[in-house]
Amino acid sequence: MKVIELIEKLNLTVFGTAKGENIEISGGYTSDLLSDVMGKAESGNAWITLQSHKNAIAVASLRELSCIILINNNEPEEDMLEQANEEGIPVLGTSLSAFETSGLIYNLLKK
Amino acid sequence: MRFEYDIEAGNFSKAGDASSAFKKVLKQLNVDPQVIKRIVIALYEGEVNIVAHSYGGKIVCDIEPKKVSIVLKDTGPGIPNIEQAMQEGFSTATPAVREMGFGAGMGLCNMNRNANAMNITSSAEDGTRVELIINL
């Protein structure tokens, strides 16, 4: 599934300029610890987190994650969004919790 | 080929810049993506350690035909107990740094896990030196 399809299916907010029309989602990883994501997430994973600062983009870029989904109505800090736009990483948002978001994405990807 | 990066203490907005720059070099050299992944994980953790815990430092990356060696050197204050620092979950990070999602006590373990060899020496006078070897 492409990131743009996930945006439509879960009605996610798109904060930046990247919508991931050509970015394939390989799976998901849910964590707020940057070292955990660095060490355990797989390339192409959608990252579900509340970390809304610039360092999240560094992690997503270095590990080649497909998108960042900010949970619980969290919004990205300005410099996070600037960096995300520069690198073409979709930063998305939802009002749902990490648990609910992960469950929905898990089911969508399982099909 | 040698690449050097200066790392500023406490400047989290630049944390990851050196790792990102070196990753681009490795990609241009067509290094195996799985090896790039391991190098990047180890290097990023080391870079963040210098930003979060040191007075500043330098990263020197040497690309050789069969290995990449990375030396991360800071100017202090040193690690009093390396064995303790190597334990997963042990961290001396401040609450503010933890809130950003750093300081989980996983950094040195991630480095050790992804490198073929890792050596740490540290003292209050000379700071900390971490050497990582990743085979190509």
Q: What is the pLDDT of residues A21-47, one digit of tens each?
A: 999 999 999 999 999 999 999 999 999
pLDDT band at A111 (very low <50, low <70, confident <90, very high): confident
Task: Using the predicted structure, report yes or no on whether residue A85 has a pLDDT greater than 90.
Answer: yes
- CA A78 to chain CA centroid, Å, is 16
Strand A45-49 and strand A27-30: pairing? parallel
Beta carbons of B80 and B100 less than 8 angstroms apart: no
Task: Using the predicted structure, report yes or no on whether residue B53 has a pLDDT greater than 90.
Answer: yes
- CA distance linking residue B3 with residue B18, whole number of Å: 10
Peptide bond into B80 cis (omega under 30): no
Contact A54 B13 (CB under 8 A): yes
Best A51, A54, A55 residue to mutate vs chain B (most B CBs within 10 Å): A55
Q: Which helix (H) or strand (E) holds A80?
A: helix A78-87
The pLDDT of residue A52 is 98
B107 touches chain A (CB under 8 A): yes
Domains and CATH numbers, chain B: 2-135 (3.30.565.10)
- For tokens 């879960």, the residue is A10
Out of A32, A38, A58, closest to residue B41 by CB: A38
Burial degree of B71 (CB within 10 A; 0-12, 13-18, 19+): middle
Phi, psi of A62 (to 5 degrees): -65, -35
The pLDDT of residue B1 is 96
**Which residues in chain B touch residue A32, judged by CB atoms under 8 angstroms apart?**
101
- CA distance linking residue B14 with residue B37, whole number of Å: 20
Classify domain A3-110 at the CATH topology level.
3.40.1390
Q: Which helix (H) or strand (E) holds B25?
A: helix B17-28
Beta carbons of B117 and B133 less than 8 angstroms apart: yes
Average pLDDT, chain B: 97
